[in-house]
Each structure stands twice: as C-alpha cells, then as structure tokens.
Amino acid sequence: MKQWTQHDARTAQTTEAEQFNTQHQAFRGEMIGLDRTQLPEGALAQTQLSNACLHQCYLFNPWSTGVIGANGEQTRYRAAAADTQPEQWRAINYRNFGSGWFTCFETTLQPFKGGNLLTEWYGNCAIQTAFNETYNTTYAGGSQTGAPNEKFLGLRILYNGAIVAERIGPAKAMDHFMISGAQQMPSGPVTLTLQAKPGSAGPDDPVTEFGSTLLLMQCHLFANRVFAIGRFR
C-alpha cells in the first residue's frame, strides 16, 4: 500500500505545487523501479501468482471418449453388442479392425505457456494372445517356420502429431502398462494424442467361435488414466 512519504496533505489544506511534485516524483520512482532489491524475500505468495503461472497439471482419470458407460475405454473399435460373446467385451475384433496404429484418446492441453511437458499414460488391456504361435506362424523369432504373429500391444504418445514416446507394450492376455514421455514444447495449446497398435490377424487366427457368428475379442484397452504436467519456463 502506498503511503505519503514527503507530505501529508489534509482536506482543504493549501499546498505548494513543488510540494506535490516532490511526492509525485517519489511515487514515480517507485512505480518504474520495482526490482528484487526493493522486495523482501518471500514477498510473492502462491495467491499472488496467476493460475498456471509456473506449472499446470492435466488429469484425465478415467479419460472420456464421450461414449456412455465406457469411460476409460478405447471406443474407436467397439463391437456391436449383438456380435459380442456374452463373456467377453465390446471391443476390437477381426471384423472391425485391420491393422496399424489407431488413436485411443486425444485432447488439447491448455493453457500451455511453453516449456517441458511430461505425460504419463497408464492403462489395462486384454489381448487374445493364444494364437501368437500357430501352424503357419512363429512367435518372436522362434524355431518354427513362418512369419511372426506377435500380439504385443504397441503404445505411443504424440504431441501435435509428433511421436515423443513409443514402446512395445504388454503381451499377456490380461495386462497393464505404463508409458511416459516428455518434450520441450513451444507456447500454445498442445494436442495430446495416445495411440495403440494391436496385433493384426494371422493366417491361423480364429475369428469367430465354431458354429457361431459371435466374434472373438482380439484386443481392448480399459481403465486408462492420463496425467500430464507442463513446467513453464
């Protein structure tokens, strides 16, 4: 709070112009000269900083893709209930999925003032791993002839469309995973994209149950949670 330092003017008091100018000059000196030498240590508390002044956390737990009843799940490939085994999930099967990377979750992180952006993606998955080694396929370079039919679930994190982290993911039938990545990013909103790459169909993989039209679940991601933190500098 500013205080009179040169004169203390009272109501209806008559003053000289120089009296005013002296005080004016004193104020002006304070206004344009604030620096670390004039402020005591600890002068700036958290409440005086604007939100997201130094950092910003972004939480998506569970993530929402807008599909009712499916928070935290990938819903890009979601089998119709009528095509789903009663003791499996509406998920990826060999009729709705071919091959390649697909986006599980995408959002815009803002405000982002420029600096380091760290993302942790944790999730669970179901993978039909039983047929990673069949009559005509081998498993991860094994002794049998034939092409590999690995069922690893690939995972990767992208910022503004550029890959910042990628890994060979889980390979158990019911498994969990974590992938994290960090990158220096310029200021402005950042598009965070999380992608997965299930194994594609092998030549010997069964697609449906014998004598049934119900499709077998091949892969699903569920109980996903994402934490990101921007450290602005």
Partner 1 sequence: MSRIVRPPVDAGQTIDATTLNATYNDYNQPGALDENNVRDQAFDLPHLNNISIIKNSATALLGDANMLHTGPAVQYPSSLASPPTVTRVGNAAGTPTFLDFGASGWPMVGGDVLRVWWNFGVISFIGMAPPTPYLNPGAMGQYTLEDRAAGPSHIVTDGFHCWLAYLQWDITSNALTNFVAVSGQMDPALGVKGTVRDGFEVELLSAATVISPYQVTSDGDARDGKVSATLPTQAHGWYAPYGMYCFTTNVAMTVYGVRLVITGLLHPFLNPAGNRENLLVYDYTQGDALYFLLGRGGRISAVHMRRF
Give kind and range of the element (H or E) at residue 178: strand 174-185
HSE of 32, CA atoms in CB hemisphere, 13 A: 5
CB nearer partner 1, residue 44 or residue 162:
44
Shortest spacing between CB 88 and partner 1, in angstroms: 5
CB of 202 to partner 1, least distance (A): 9
Query: Rounded to 5 degrees, what are φ and ψ at 28?
Result: -60, -40
Measured from the CB atom, the residue of 94 and 159 that comes closer to partner 1 is 94
Which backbone phi and psi does 31 adopt, to 5 degrees? -65, -40
Nearer to partner 1, 108 or 144 (CB): 144
From the CB of 153, what's the least distance to partner 1, in Å? 13
Residue 179, both tokens:
């992938």
The nearest distance, CB 44 to partner 1, in angstroms, is 5
Nearest alpha carbon to residue 123 among 156, 90, 158: 156
User: Shortest Cβ distance from residue 28 to partner 1 (Å)?
Assistant: 9
**CA torsion 90→94→100→104, rounded to 10°?**
0
Identity of the residue, 196 or 217, whose beta carbon is nearer to partner 1 in the bound complex: 217
Token pair belonging to 99:
């091959």
> Are the C-beta atoms of 181 and 164 separated by less than 8 Å?
yes
3-state secondary structure of 80: coil
In this complex, which beta carbon is closest to partner 1, that of residue 40 or of residue 161? 40
With H, G, I as helix, E, B as strand and everything else as coil, classify residue 64: coil
**Residue among 162 and 173 whose Cβ is closer to partner 1:** 173
Smallest gap from residue 24 Cβ to partner 1 (A): 7
